[in-house]
Structures are given as structure tokens and as C-alpha cells.
């Protein structure tokens, strides 16, 4: 029995080592398996092997190149809710100043890391038929989670590196390569429509396979509904957006948080409405996964002065109701900084009791509030009464003593858009909201702000679409660069 137990331990160790060994190999996403690495057939045999492999996928998602930091911060600093302070460290300065190129590190890191999620998920999916251990529900849960994570990564990539679904012609616009197995074949870009079709098919299959929401740091059926609602919202497919957002809202295990329970989401990574969040261990202090370091300072204040890179825009702050709980949850007034006394964002709590380093926080990828706002927007095209009801529900949970005034037409839609901006500030959503709606933005100079504080970006600017990384252009002769970027 001891020998068998040790053999299982070795298999799990080998599977995890294989996953992380792959991380260091290759310059392009299609070259992830070195010739001397252990084969997948050896790595994935038992139920525990597959469970260990799945943990490796989750570990990649929460890495700094993807949802550990870059999927949020890259796009937060790119628009008009944050201003770089004068003399800032220039972290994410390329994105803040809209000077990204195919050589930019974050452009490459996000692309590569998301594709690592895809290839690692695909390894599990492709060898899943060999899994004979465990119950049918356990086996299906593994397959469903792997499929949903693969779908999510494809969806995030197509949002970043391709034209918005609603803004162009998805049937002909270039998306990103659909990858379903790890190999050395060159891949051309699929169309935006093909990528969305694939994401929807994968997510629906995942939904049919999973039977439980295991824990908040794993995906389950509710996360599948949340992703599908997000995808259909991106497409402007309002009936389906209503269907899947409603399924999220119907799950009473994830009610809208109110009061201190809502504050706890950000203060200590708790709160009822978190559907799926990353799992950052308390001993992980890497700047790559410290999502709040640029907002609260990665190190303790010196002489009570916070060393920060970005402050919230005054325009954003002025949009909140005075009785809004988010003012308490997201912001701190009268903070001493090198550029004077400022309001700073503390959405990623500098004093989170789960960590000893400032700014460390679990990234919340899906929350129930998003389902309410997706459904409200979808209903605004067909049933304004129900759209008002969802907007009222969200605002009642956020604003003490809120009294709703019934809205209609464009005024209703504008309030829903405004609520998305307030609710998802510093969560990477506004960039994609503007891109999807084909809107530009303009920063207005404010006290303490440094370079690019008066930047204006038109809706037609080619830089709303990120370039394909130069590493991939060099490695893959079938890859086509996005318009406006020059490949050397």
C-alpha cells in the first residue's frame, strides 16, 4: 500500500512538473513541449493525475501574465478612470500612453500565457477518454472545467487581439487561432465569428458536463452561465444574454452583496457574490500577481507617504452617489503622496489580512453584479420595465436609501453604462466597454497627474486592437499582423 501511495504521489509530482516545465520552453505558443519532456500519456493516467493537471491550468490563469494582473491592469490604465502621477515608475506606461507595439512585453505575455491555458486544458481534454477512475460525475467535472477554461482563454484573446464583434464584420475579420491540441503545426488566424462559435460551443458543453460549483476558486455551472452571458453580451445577442444572465441570478448561492458583505469582497476576498476568483497563496509576493501595487504602493508608506503610480480620475469619482458603498470600498481620501494629498483607490486593499504585502488580492473574474447589468442592458432593448428592475436591484444593493426613478430609451441605457463603469472600476472592463460600443475617450488634466494626462483616443484608432506579438510573427509564417502595426 505504501508503494502504491508513493507511486500516486510521483505521478502527481510529474504532472505538475511537466506543466510548469512547459512554461519555460519556446518563444511561441505552438512550441510548448520540449523534446525531452515526459509525454502526456505518462503524465495523465489516474484521476489524481488529471486533478493535478487541472490545478496546473488554474495556476496559469492566476499568473501575472493573465488574470494575476495583466488582464486587469493593462486595460484599466489604458482609458480614463486612472491617471499616472507625475514621476511615476512607468509601470504599464506603454499602455497608459498608447505606445504599445508588437515588441511590448505585456502584449507578448498575455498572448503566451492565455495560450498556455489553452494548450494545458487541451492536454487534459484530449487524454480524458483514457480516464477510467472516479465516478462519471467526477470525470465529467474535470472535462467540463477544462473546456470552460479553454473557452474563456479564447474569448479573452479575441477581445484583445481582434476587432470587436459588433464593430466590424465577424464573418471576415481576423480573430485568433483556435487551438485544441498541443503540437508544432503553424496556425492561421480564424475569423472572429469562428472563435465566438467555438467559445459558445465549448462553454455549453462545459455547462452540460459540470454538476457542482466546487469552490469559489474553481469554475462550475454558474461560472459557465456567467461566461456565456458575457459572450452573448459582447455579441449583442440580447435574448441569449438574458437567458444566461438569468441563470446566474437564479443561483441563490451567489446573491448580490450589500453593506459590509460587499466591502469584504475587496477587504478580505470574501463576500457572497463572487462566482469565480483566482487563488493567490498568502506567501506569493511577486509583483507579477500584486494587482494593487500600482494603486496603493507595493511597499509600506515612508513617513506616511504612499508611493503610488496611478490615481482615480476626478470625473469617475464625481459619478458616485454620496451614499454609495463603493466609495468606502474602492477609495480612500486625504492620502499623502509624492504629488500631494490625493484620493487613491483601495479596491485592492493595502491591508488585506490574508497577505503581508500591500496590494495583494484575489482577482474576481465573475461576480453576480455583472449578470444584473448584462441583463439590464439586454432588457433595455425589449422590456424596459424589467431593465429598470435590474438596475434598481443593483443600485439598491450599493446605495443606501436608494429611490429609483423609472427610465426609458437612451436615458435608461446611459444609466446602465454608467453603472458598469462604477461597479467594475479597476477590473479591466471599461476598455472593452468603450471598444465594443465604438467610443473614444479623453483625459482632462487634473492635479498630480503626469504625462499623457490630456490624451484623447478616437474610437477609430487602430490601437484598440493589440498587435500580434513579434515573437509569434517571427515563428509562424501563417500569422497576419493587425492593421497599423509594422512587423520587422
pLDDT single digits (tens) 389-400: 999 999 999 999
As beta bridge partners, residue 191 has 174
For residue 275, name the pLDDT band (cuts at 50, 70, 90): very high
Q: Pull the grid cell for residue 225.
A: 452561465
Residues, the chain:
488
How far apart, in whole angstroms, are the C-alpha atoms of residue 449 and residue 41? 55
How far apart, in whole angstroms, are the C-alpha atoms of residue 411 and residue 405? 11
pLDDT of 11 higher than 60 = no
Are both 134 and 73 inside the same structural domain?
Answer: yes
How far apart, in whole angstroms, are the C-alpha atoms of residue 42 and residue 57? 18
- Using a pLDDT cut of 90, give the percent of the chain over it: 83
For residue 3, name the pLDDT band (cuts at 50, 70, 90): very low
Are both 335 and 206 inside the same structural domain?
Answer: no
* End position of a domain, from candidates 313, 343, 361: 361
How far apart, in whole angstroms, are the C-alpha atoms of residue 310 and residue 301? 15
Are both 373 and 355 inside the same structural domain?
Answer: no
Regarding pTM above 0.75, the answer is yes
Are both 138 and 199 inside the same structural domain?
Answer: yes
Are both 252 and 309 inside the same structural domain?
Answer: no
Domain residue limits at 307:
287-361
Q: Provide mean pLDDT across the span 98-117.
A: 96
Q: Provide mean pLDDT across the span 21-38.
A: 33
3-state SS, residue 334: strand
- Whether 486 is in a domain gets the answer no
pLDDT of residue 486: 81
- Whether 281 is in a domain gets the answer no
Are both 393 and 352 inside the same structural domain?
Answer: no
* DSSP-derived pairing of the beta strands 364-367 and 340-345: unpaired
- Whether 488 is in a domain gets the answer no
The total of structural domains in the chain comes to 2
- Phi then psi for residue 255, to 5 deg, are -75, 160
Lowest mean pLDDT among 17-31, 64-78, 469-483: 17-31
The mean predicted confidence, pLDDT, of the chain is 90
Are both 351 and 467 inside the same structural domain?
Answer: no
Q: Which residue has the cell 484599466?
A: 76
Rounded (5°) CA angle 176-179-182: 140
- DSSP H helical segments within 179-324, as ranges? 192-209, 221-235, 238-250, 259-267, 293-296, 314-317
- Whether 179 is in a domain gets the answer yes
Task: Read off the pLDDT of residues 326-383 as tens digits, 9 standing for 90 and up.
Answer: 999 999 999 999 999 999 999 999 988 988 888 889 999 999 999 999 999 999 999 9
Are both 237 and 355 inside the same structural domain?
Answer: no
- Whether 53 is in a domain gets the answer yes
- Whether 480 is in a domain gets the answer no
How far apart, in whole angstroms, are the C-alpha atoms of residue 79 and residue 368? 24
Q: Are 304 and 336 in contact (CB under 8 A)?
A: yes
| Cα–Cα distance list, 413 to 81, 340, 375, 402, 428 (Å) | 20, 37, 12, 19, 21
* End position of a domain, from candidates 340, 361, 382: 361
Q: What is the CA radius of gyration of the chain?
A: 22
For residue 43, name the pLDDT band (cuts at 50, 70, 90): confident
Are both 316 and 379 inside the same structural domain?
Answer: no
Q: Are 121 and 147 in contact (CB under 8 A)?
A: yes
For residue 29, name the pLDDT band (cuts at 50, 70, 90): very low
How far apart, in whole angstroms, are the C-alpha atoms of residue 60 and residue 124? 14
Q: Which residue has the cell 459572450?
A: 231
Task: Read off the pLDDT of residues 188-230 as tens digits, 9 standing for 90 and up.
Answer: 999 999 999 999 999 999 999 999 999 999 999 999 999 999 9
Q: Are 44 and 50 in contact (CB under 8 A)?
A: yes
For residue 117, name the pLDDT band (cuts at 50, 70, 90): very high
Are both 252 and 385 inside the same structural domain?
Answer: yes
* End position of a domain, from candidates 341, 361, 381: 361
Q: Are 367 and 229 in contact (CB under 8 A)?
A: no
pLDDT of residue 42: 55
Amino acid at each position: 500500500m505504501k508503494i502504491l501511495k508513493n507511486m500516486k504521489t510521483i505521478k502527481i509530482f510529474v504532472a505538475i512538473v511537466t506543466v510548469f516545465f512547459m512554461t519555460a520552453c519556446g518563444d511561441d505558443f505552438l512550441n510548448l513541449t520540449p523534446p525531452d519532456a515526459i509525454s502526456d500519456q505518462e503524465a495523465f493516467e489516474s484521476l489524481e493525475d488529471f486533478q493535478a493537471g487541472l490545478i496546473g491550468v488554474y495556476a496559469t490563469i492566476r499568473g501575472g501574465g493573465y488574470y494575476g494582473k495583466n488582464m486587469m491592469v493593462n486595460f484599466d490604465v489604458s482609458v480614463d478612470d486612472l491617471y499616472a502621477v507625475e514621476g511615476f515608475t512607468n509601470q504599464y506606461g506603454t499602455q497608459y500612453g498608447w505606445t504599445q507595439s508588437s515588441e511590448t512585453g505585456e502584449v507578448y505575455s498575455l498572448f503566451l500565457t492565455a495560450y498556455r491555458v489553452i494548450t494545458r486544458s487541451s492536454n487534459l481534454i484530449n487524454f480524458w477518454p483514457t480516464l477510467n477512475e472516479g465516478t462519471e460525475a467526477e470525470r465529467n467535472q474535470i472535462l467540463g472545467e477544462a473546456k470552460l477554461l479553454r473557452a474563456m482563454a479564447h474569448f479573452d484573446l479575441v477581445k484583445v487581439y481582434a476587432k470587436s464583434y459588433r464593430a466590424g464584420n465577424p464573418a471576415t475579420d481576423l480573430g485568433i487561432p483556435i487551438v485544441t491540441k498541443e503540437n508544432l503545426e503553424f496556425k492561421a488566424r480564424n475569423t472572429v465569428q469562428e472563435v465566438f462559435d467555438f467559445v459558445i460551443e465549448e462553454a455549453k458543453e462545459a455547462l452540460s458536463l459540470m454538476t457542482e460549483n466546487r469552490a469559489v476558486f474553481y469554475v462550475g455551472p454558474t461560472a459557465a452561465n456567467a461566461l456565456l452571458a458575457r459572450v452573448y453580451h459582447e455579441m449583442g445577442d440580447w435574448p441569449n444574454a438574458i437567458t444566461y444572465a438569468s441563470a446566474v441570478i437564479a443561483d441563490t448561492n451567489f446573491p448580490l452583496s450589500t453593506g459590509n458583505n460587499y466591502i469584504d469582497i475587496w477587504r478580505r476576498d470574501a463576500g457572497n457574490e463572487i462566482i469565480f476568483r483566482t487563488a493567490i497563496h498568502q506567501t506569493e509576493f511577486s509583483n507579477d500577481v500584486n494587482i494593487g501595487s500600482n494603486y496603493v504602493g507595493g511597499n509600506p508608506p515612508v513617513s506616511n507617504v504612499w508611493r503610488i503610480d496611478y490615481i482615480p480620475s476626478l470625473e469617475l469619482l464625481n459619478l458616485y452617489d454620496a451614499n454609495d458603498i463603493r466609495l468606502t470600498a474602492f477609495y480612500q481620501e486625504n492620502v499623502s503622496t509624492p504629488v500631494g494629498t490625493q484620493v487613491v483607490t483601495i479596491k485592492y486593499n493595502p491591508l488585506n489580512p490574508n497577505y503581508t504585502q500591500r496590494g495583494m488580492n484575489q482577482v474576481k473574474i465573475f461576480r453576480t453584479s455583472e449578470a444584473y447589468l448584462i441583463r439590464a442592458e439586454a432588457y433595455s432593448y425589449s422590456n424596459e420595465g424589467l431593465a429598470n428592475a435590474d438596475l434598481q436591484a443593483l443600485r439598491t444593493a450599493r446605495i443606501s436609501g436608494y429611490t429609483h426613478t423609472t427610465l426609458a430609451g437612451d436615458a435608461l441605457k446611459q444609466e446602465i453604462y454608467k453603472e458598469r463603469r462604477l461597479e467594475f472600476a479597476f477590473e479591466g472592463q471599461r476598455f472593452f466597454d468603450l471598444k465594443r460600443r465604438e467610443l473614444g475617450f479623453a483625459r482632462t488634466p487634473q492635479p498630480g497627474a503626469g504625462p499623457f494626462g490630456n490624451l484623447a483616443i478616437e474610437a477609430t484608432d487602430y490601437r484598440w486592437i493589440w498587435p500580434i506579438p513579434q515573437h509569434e510573427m517571427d515563428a509562424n509564417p501563417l500569422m497576419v499582423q493587425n492593421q497599423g502595426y509594422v512587423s520587422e
